[in-house]
Structure 1
Amino acid sequence: MSRPTHIEAANNTRSLVIVTILFFMWGLLTSLNDVLIPHLKAIYTLSYVQAMLVQFCFFGAYFVVSLPVGALIKRTGYQHGAVIGLTIAAAGCALFYPAAQSGYALFLFAFFVLASGITMLQVAANPYVVVLGAAKTASSRLTLTQAFNSLGTTVGPFFGGTLILGGVLLSPEQIGALPAAEQLAYRAKEAATVQGPYLALAGALLLLAILFAFARLPKITHDDDDLGTVLADGSKTLMSHPHLLLGAVGIFVYVGGEVSIGSFLVNFLGESDVASLAPATAAGYVSFYWGGAMVGRFIGFAVMRKVSPGKTLAFNAACAIALILTAIFSQGALAMWAILAVGLFNSIMFPTIFSMALHRLGKLTGHASGVLCMAIVGGALVPFLQGYLADSIGLHLSFSVPAMCYVFILYYGVKFSGLHESHASH
Structure 2
Amino acid sequence: MNTTKKSNLLPIVMMILLFGMISFVTNLAAPMGVVVKSQFGASNFLGMLGNFANFLAYAFMGIPGGKLLEKVGYKKTALLAIIIGFVGVGIQFFSGVAESFFVYLLGAFVAGFSMCLLNIVVNPMLNTLGGAGKKGNQLIQVGATFNSLTGTLTPILIGMLVGVATKDTAIKDVNPVLFIAMGVFALVGLVLYFVNIPEPHIIKDGEVKEKSAYSAWSFRHFVLGAIGIGVYVGIEVGVPATLNLFLADAKAGGLDATTAGFVTGTYWLLMLVGRFIGASIGGKVSSKSMLIVASSVGMILAFMAIISPTSTTVSIPLFQSGTSGISFGLANVPINAMFLVLIGLCTSVMWGGIFNLAVEGLGRFTAAASGIFMTMVVGGGILPLIQNAVADNMGYMVSYWVPFIGLAYMLYYSLIGSKNVNQDIPVE
TM-score range, shorter chain: 0.7 to 0.9
Q: CA RMSD in A?
A: 3.0
Task: Output the CA distance in 1 between the equivalents of 2:258 and 2:106.
Answer: 25
Task: Output the CA distance in 1 between the equivalents of 2:353 and 2:271.
Answer: 13
Identity %: 28
2:68 alignment partner AA:
L
- Which moved further from structure 2: 142-151 or 69-78? 69-78
CA displacement at 1:307 relative to structure 2: 5.4
Q: Which position in structure 2 is the counterpart of 1:296?
A: 274
Task: Output the CA distance in 2 between the equivalents of 1:94 and 1:86.
Answer: 12
Runs of at least 5 residues in structure 2 that lack an aligned partner in the other structure = 315-334, 422-428
Task: Output the CA distance in 2 between the equivalents of 1:131 and 1:419.
Answer: 20
Q: Which position in structure 2 is the counterpart of 1:216?
A: 196
Q: Which position in structure 2 is the counterpart of 1:158?
A: 156
2:242 alignment partner AA:
F
Q: Does 1:365 align with 2:366?
A: yes
Q: Which position in structure 2 is the counterpart of 1:180?
A: none
1:132–1:401 distance in 2 versus 1, CA, 3 Å? closer
The C-alpha deviation readout for 1:324-363, integer Å capped at 9, x for no partner, is: 1211221233211001111111111121122222222333
Q: Which position in structure 1 is the counterpart of 2:246?
A: 268
Q: Which position in structure 2 is the counterpart of 1:391?
A: 392
Q: Does 1:95 align with 2:88?
A: no
Q: Does 1:49 align with 2:50?
A: no
Q: Does 1:68 align with 2:69?
A: no
CA displacement at 1:91 relative to structure 2: 0.8
Q: Does 1:256 align with 2:237?
A: no
Task: Output the CA distance in 1 between the equivalents of 2:226 and 2:132.
Answer: 27
Task: Output the CA distance in 2 between the equivalents of 1:122 and 1:311.
Answer: 24
Contact 2:74 2:197 in 1 (8 A): no
Runs of at least 5 residues in structure 1 that lack an aligned partner in the other structure = 176-185, 421-426
Match of 2:255, SS state, is coil
- State the number of aligned residues: 392
CA displacement at 1:129 relative to structure 2: 3.7
- Which moved further from structure 2: 332-341 or 308-317? 308-317
CA displacement at 1:59 relative to structure 2: 0.7
2:87 alignment partner AA:
A
1:68–1:134 distance in 2 versus 1, CA, 3 Å? closer
Q: Which position in structure 2 is the counterpart of 1:286?
A: 264
1:246–1:395 distance in 2 versus 1, CA, 3 Å? same
TM-score (normalizing by structure 1): 0.82
Contact 2:71 2:202 in 1 (8 A): no
Task: Output the CA distance in 2 between the equivalents of 1:369 and 1:18.
Answer: 19
1:233–1:211 distance in 2 versus 1, CA, 3 Å? same
Structure in which a larger fraction of residues adopt helix: 1
TM-score (normalizing by structure 2): 0.82
Q: Mapping of 1:103-252 within 5 angstroms?
A: 103-129=100-126, 140-163=138-161, 165-166=162-163, 168-170=164-166, 175=167, 186=168, 190-223=170-203, 234=213, 238-252=216-230
CA displacement at 1:195 relative to structure 2: 2.5
Task: Output the CA distance in 1 between the equivalents of 2:46 and 2:243.
Answer: 16
Q: Does 1:321 align with 2:299?
A: yes
Q: Which position in structure 1 is the counterpart of 2:321?
A: none
Task: Output the CA distance in 1 between the equivalents of 2:379 and 2:36.
Answer: 22
Q: Which position in structure 1 is the counterpart of 2:332?
A: none
CA displacement at 1:220 relative to structure 2: 4.2
Contact 1:70 1:123 in 2 (8 A): yes
Contact 2:287 2:352 in 1 (8 A): no
The C-alpha deviation readout for 1:21-69, integer Å capped at 9, x for no partner, is: 2222222222222321111122111112211211211111111112232
CA displacement at 1:416 relative to structure 2: 4.8
1:413–1:204 distance in 2 versus 1, CA, 3 Å? closer
Q: Which position in structure 1 is the counterpart of 2:3?
A: 4
The C-alpha deviation readout for 1:357-379, integer Å capped at 9, x for no partner, is: 22223333333333222211111
The C-alpha deviation readout for 1:131-182, integer Å capped at 9, x for no partner, is: 668889655443322221121112222222223x23x322xxxx5xxxxxxx
Q: Which position in structure 1 is the counterpart of 2:328?
A: none
Task: Output the CA distance in 2 between the equivalents of 1:233 and 1:131.
Answer: 23
Contact 2:139 2:279 in 1 (8 A): no
Structure in which a larger fraction of residues adopt strand: 2
Q: Does 1:30 align with 2:30?
A: no
Task: Output the CA distance in 2 between the equivalents of 1:46 and 1:233.
Answer: 50
Task: Output the CA distance in 2 between the equivalents of 1:104 and 1:23.
Answer: 28
Task: Output the CA distance in 1 between the equivalents of 2:139 and 2:290.
Answer: 22
Q: 2:13 aligns with which of 11, 17, 32?
A: 17
1:223–1:287 distance in 2 versus 1, CA, 3 Å? same
CA displacement at 1:311 relative to structure 2: 4.1
Task: Output the CA distance in 1 between the equivalents of 2:127 and 2:121.
Answer: 12
Contact 1:56 1:379 in 2 (8 A): yes
Contact 1:86 1:205 in 2 (8 A): yes
CA displacement at 1:108 relative to structure 2: 0.5
Contact 1:23 1:148 in 2 (8 A): yes
